[in-house]
């Protein structure tokens, strides 16, 4: 597998998608704005009570709820746009067919939820029960703690599996327009075997390295006084498109039967 070609194509694709496409770029920025504004309504200094605890009544819950709600609704348009990239549209598509964008975005999130729900539910519930039971070290409770530990390991394994298969699953959903195909374990396993487990793991490692470099850059930018958060809004769309294109190319390497991209509405 020519990973350098995949990386080069992904970078070029993301640059061509936004450079000179100012309206498209502005949509990414504006739609991410509500989530970024949450930091300005949360001031930790005002939440600390004189007793050292948290003054929950001082938290502007209504403002946070509005920003989160608006941000969530707008995020569906962005994830819907990602679905079009997953379908292999080249050059990068425009923001058109807004209703279909919104619906596709919701469906994409549903596929991710279906993949991660079992592992997260088991891990969260087991962790909570583990914390409650940890203080009891009586002999009769040790076997229960062992069972909880095994369940916690099982939940963690499920999350890892969800990540490995979900990455290709969401692209399979985009290509077939079927949520059930997006969680079709056997077909996705066949896809990975066609790619090659070694190649797939290397692709994930390379992405992890690229993501780490990006997040270091973002952390540095975030320290720029007053305008750092604006710069992050500006550069985030490049990484979003890069990630979508990167895994689209990885997916296509494992296609046994070419699936025509769904028509753009």
Q: What is the pLDDT along the chain (265 residues), one digit of tens a residue?
A: 788 899 999 999 999 999 999 999 999 999 999 988 888 887 666 666 555 566 667 778 888 899 999 999 999 999 999 999 999 998 999 999 999 999 999 999 999 999 999 989 888 888 777 666 655 555 446 777 777 788 888 889 999 999 999 999 999 999 999 999 999 999 999 999 999 999 999 999 999 999 999 999 998 988 888 888 899 999 999 999 999 999 999 999 887 444 444 544 4
Instruction: Tell me how far CA of residue 257 lies from CA of 47, 175, 194, 197, in angstroms.
Output: 57, 11, 11, 19
Say what the pLDDT of residue 136 is.
55
Instruction: Write down the mean pLDDT value for the chain.
Output: 87
CA 118 to chain centre: 17
Instruction: Enter the tokens of residue 95.
Output: 């923001």
Show the CA angle centred on residue 151, arms to residues 149 and 156, nearest 5°: 95
Contact residues for 189 (Cβ-Cβ < 8 A; gap 6+): 165
Say what the pLDDT of residue 124 is.
84
Say what the pLDDT of residue 133 is.
65
Say what the pLDDT of residue 260 is.
45
Burial class (CB in 10 A: 0-12, 13-18, 19+), 53: exposed
- Identify the CA nearest to 114 among candidates 165, 176, 73, 177: 165
From CA 194, how far away is CA 197, in angstroms rounded?
Answer: 8
Say what the pLDDT of residue 137 is.
52
CB 154 within 8 A of CB 111: no
SS3 73: helix
Say what the pLDDT of residue 226 is.
82
Instruction: Enter the tokens of residue 111.
Output: 């596929």
From CA 261, how far away is CA 54, in angstroms rounded?
Answer: 52
pTM for the model stands at 0.85
SS3 177: coil
Say what the pLDDT of residue 135 is.
56
Instruction: Enter the tokens of residue 73.
Output: 């609704």
């Amino acid at each position: 597998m020519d990973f350098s070609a995949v990386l080069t194509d992904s970078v070029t694709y993301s640059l061509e998608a936004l450079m000179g496409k100012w309206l498209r770029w502005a949509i990414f920025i504006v739609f991410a704005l509500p989530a970024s504004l949450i930091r300005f309504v949360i001031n930790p200094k005002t939440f600390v009570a004189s007793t050292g605890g948290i003054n929950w009544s001082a938290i502007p819950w209504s403002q946070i709820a509005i920003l989160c709600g608006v941000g969530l609704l707008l995020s569906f348009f962005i994830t819907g746009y990602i679905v079009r990239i997953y379908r292999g549209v080249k050059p990068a598509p425009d923001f058109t067919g807004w209703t279909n964008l919104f619906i596709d975005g919701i469906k994409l999130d549903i596929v991710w939820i279906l993949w991660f729900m079992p592992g997260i539910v088991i891990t969260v519930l087991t962790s909570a029960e583990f914390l409650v039971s940890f203080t009891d070290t009586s002999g009769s409770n040790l076997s229960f703690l062992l069972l909880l530990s095994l369940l916690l390991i099982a939940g963690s394994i499920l999350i890892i599996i969800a990540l490995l298969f979900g990455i290709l699953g969401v692209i399979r959903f985009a290509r077939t327009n079927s949520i059930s195909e997006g969680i079709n374990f056997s077909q996705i396993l066949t896809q990975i075997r066609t790619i090659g487990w070694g190649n797939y793991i290397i692709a994930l490692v390379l992405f992890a390295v690229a993501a780490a470099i990006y997040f270091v850059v973002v952390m540095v930018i975030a320290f720029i006084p007053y305008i750092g958060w604006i710069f992050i809004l500006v550069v985030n769309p490049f990484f979003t498109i890069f990630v979508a294109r990167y895994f689209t190319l990885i997916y296509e390497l494992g296609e046994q039967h070419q699936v025509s991209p769904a028509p753009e509405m």
